[in-house]
Amino acid sequence: MVDNPLTKNIDMSRPPLEIAAYEAADGYQSVRLIAKGLSPEDVLQQVKDSGLKGRGGAGFPTGLKWSFVPQGDDTPQQKYLVVNADEMEPGTFKDRLLMEGDPHLLIEGVIIAAYAIRASKAYIFLRGEYVASERLLRHAIDEAVASGFLGNNILGSGFDLELIVHTSAGRYICGEETALLNALEGKRAIPRAKPPFPQVSGLWGKPTIVNNVETLCNLPGILTYGVDWYHGLTKGSDHGTKLFGVSGRVKTPGCWELPLGLPIRELLEDYAGGMQDGLALRGFLPGGGSTDFMLPEHLDTALDYDEIAKLGSRLATGTMIVLDDKTCPVGMVGNLMKFFAKESCGFCTPCRDGLPWVEDIFRDFEAGRGNEKDLQILHDHVDYLGPGRTFCALAPGATAPLGSGLKYFKEDFERHIKEQCCPYKH
């Protein structure tokens, strides 16, 4: 049985599979099941039973999210599925692999999700810089339309689906699902107030599900090989496989599909080859730039949503950024603060004004002008910009590396003040 459903067709040394080869590798089997009478309710139940959690960062159960879409004759008949392919989280490089490596897998996932929520129109919200993904997806969509997997009355099932590739014009905030919907509507990408949640009132006011690329790529396997097979992929409490990446100064940085629940050590040492010669591990962000630092003492923790949450961090995107002992932790956090300050949409005050203040203080630390009072201001901002203080999750995301960095690398901050310079540059 297949044990790497997300990457089984991926070989980056050649172009992705054309539709015939994709079908020969069990592709589009799920659409044939739908044509044979599998109902939207059946699909929803299987996805709920699978335990699949969203792979975009938040880890919300996918089936539960879908179940919030109002169904029935008295609900809006136009519903939308939107693919969040706006991969821009610092240090995250997994959705690109899926779209460039096996575009038909994503398209099959889109068909399944759209069918389950009864959406007749779907948009792939793709970041504008992913030009290769765009080209490959458009080609694969043309093939899927020609084979009857997209369009009207798919394989005689009575189900219609139009799939559109939308290339974005930039900005990290578009990864926030309501900001994404505003961008898709041609507005400034500012997050919306919730409620109403997009599941009820989303794109152009219609019920809308926004799912991440990797989440959708899990669906064909679940329908084709079954829920029991999906549960059998993992040993821990979370189900399925996930793409895990490692970047930074390790021997062999990369992205691999692994079952959830493996120890972090295995990812870092066996797959990423451990640290480059002469360097030691200082810490790591387990799932992109918006996650809390973890330390070498945490290496035996399982790559699992709940286990990492117990240590105050998040598995999030599953792409790890590694800090070595020759790189300045203060500089690393400062780089992230510059990113978040620049990418604030500017709508709410704590984020718009707080993040640039934090960024300025880091610049002072770097230039040898750090002082105790500023250090206190940084600590204060972990609270001022934290969860519940701002309109969306951007600034709270920034406080994850900020707060944990202040805690774990206290001595480094103090040395910047005492020596009035960055000690890593001397």
Q: Whose Cβ is closer to other proteins: residue 130's or residue 365's?
A: 130
Contacts of residue 99, defined as CB under 8 A and 6 or more positions apart, other chains included, come to: 85, 106, 126, 130, 133, 136, 137, 213
Burial bucket for residue 54 (CB in 10 Å: 0-12, 13-18, 19+): buried
Q: Whose Cβ is closer to other proteins: residue 68's or residue 204's?
A: 204
The minimum distance between CB 262 and other proteins, in angstroms, equals 18
Tokens describing residue 332 = 């690393």
The minimum distance between CB 169 and other proteins, in angstroms, equals 4
Which residue, 397, 394, 359, 395, is CA-closest to 377? Answer: 359
What are residue 284's DSSP bridge partners?
294, 322
The minimum distance between CB 254 and other proteins, in angstroms, equals 5
Q: Whose Cβ is closer to other proteins: residue 196's or residue 205's?
A: 205
Helices (H), 187-343: 213-217, 219-225, 227-232, 264-265, 305-310, 329-343
The minimum distance between CB 278 and other proteins, in angstroms, equals 15
Q: Whose Cβ is closer to other proteins: residue 43's or residue 97's?
A: 97
The minimum distance between CB 181 and other proteins, in angstroms, equals 11
CA atoms within 13 A on the CB side of 151: 11
Q: Whose Cβ is closer to other proteins: residue 188's or residue 407's?
A: 188
Q: Whose Cβ is closer to other proteins: residue 22's or residue 409's?
A: 409
> What is the sign of the dihedral through the CA atoms of 405, 254, 261 and 90?
positive
The minimum distance between CB 146 and other proteins, in angstroms, equals 19
Q: Whose Cβ is closer to other proteins: residue 31's or residue 328's?
A: 328
Assess whether the previous peptide bond of 196 is cis (omega < 30° from 0).
yes
Burial bucket for residue 173 (CB in 10 Å: 0-12, 13-18, 19+): buried
What are residue 286's DSSP bridge partners?
288
Residues that bind other proteins (CB under 8 A): 87-93, 95-96, 127-132, 164, 167-172, 183-189, 204, 245-249, 253-255, 285, 289, 319, 321-324, 327, 331-332, 335-336, 339, 343, 345
Q: Whose Cβ is closer to other proteins: residue 345's or residue 375's?
A: 345
The minimum distance between CB 127 and other proteins, in angstroms, equals 8
The minimum distance between CB 8 and other proteins, in angstroms, equals 20
CB distance 247 to 93 below 8 Å? yes
How far does Cα 8 stand from its chain's mean position? 20
- β-strand 319-324 against 241-247: which pairing, if any? parallel
CA distance 221 to 197: 28
